[in-house]
Amino acid sequence: MTRTSQTNSMAGCSRIRPAPLLLVHGSLASSRMWTPYRGALGAAREIITVDLHGYGASPEWLGPAPMRLADGAALLRQACAHRAEPVHVIAHSFGGAVALRWALESPERVESLTLIEPVCFFLLQHLGARAAGALAAIRRVADGFDPARGDADPVFAMRRFYDYWNGSGSWNALSAARRQMLLAHYRQVGRDFAAIFAERFSPYALRRLHQPTLIVTGRESPQAALLASAVIAEAVPEAASVSVAGAGHMLPVTHPAELTAILLTRLGIAAPAEPKAA
């Protein structure tokens, strides 16, 4: 495990108590992405999942105003409204940005945060020249989903988006049916990007968060995701970070064993017993 120079160790983030878990997915996913984790994490705690706007069982955003992170945060608030106690939040990618927004709005509802590469790209502007190249790269990806661009090509935009996060050639390796399924979310991905870049909270605002916070990254992830994660890890007072070797941004899908081990340690849950040999 690694940590940034201004964060505490994992031991500093271990003061968490039994409480329900709220699992939040990212763009182009749904609550179903957490299915492989239920067996290990749900043995001792209640698990709450949510589908963000436009994914899974939730309809696309049709509000009169553009979608914002606060609109996603409202879904988290609704999902946990029936629970008196605060929850441990585990969130990936766009879901991590939504979870941070909710934690800032309702800190009393959050017991701890475990954020897997939260894509708070708006924070990169605070790094100046250090993040200029990474910010320009992710803005090029986002531009393909901008409805104001008359030359926007959904197939090109989605291919560039998918390859950015999964590696060059990943889009072409998908089946035609899978590509069509992902293309159906083209407009929602655009709303997700718009919500990210419209957000305005600063690293200074994150200093108000005093929940134990763990930032999880993949060592092979794009620089924009790694730099945004580093800003958060350095800003939140009770934060630590851990990096998964050989993993990229989609580590909850590609490295479930490694992430499960991190989460079990994080939550103080004993690993499931290995089945005995016959």
| Average confidence (pLDDT) over 201-206 | 96
pLDDT at 199 over 90: yes
| Average confidence (pLDDT) over 168-186 | 97
For the chain, what is the mean pLDDT?
A: 90
What's the pLDDT score for residue 11? 39
Residue ranges and CATH numbers for the domains of the chain are 10-124+200-267 (3.40.50.1820)
Who wins on pLDDT, 266 or 121? 121
Q: Quick one: CA dihedral 61, 32, 259, 82, positive or negative? A: positive
What's the pLDDT score for residue 1? 37
pLDDT at 13 over 80: no
pTM of the model as a whole = 0.91
pLDDT at 8 over 60: no
pLDDT at 274 over 60: no
Q: Sorting pLDDT into bands at 50, 70 and 90, what band is 9?
A: very low
Q: pLDDT digits over 116-128, tens only?
A: 999 999 999 999 9
Q: pLDDT digits over 21-62, tens only?
A: 999 999 999 999 999 999 999 776 889 999 999 999 999 998
Q: pLDDT digits over 100-114, tens only?
A: 999 999 999 999 999
What's the pLDDT score for residue 18? 75
pLDDT at 141 over 60: yes
Q: Sorting pLDDT into bands at 50, 70 and 90, what band is 278?
A: very low
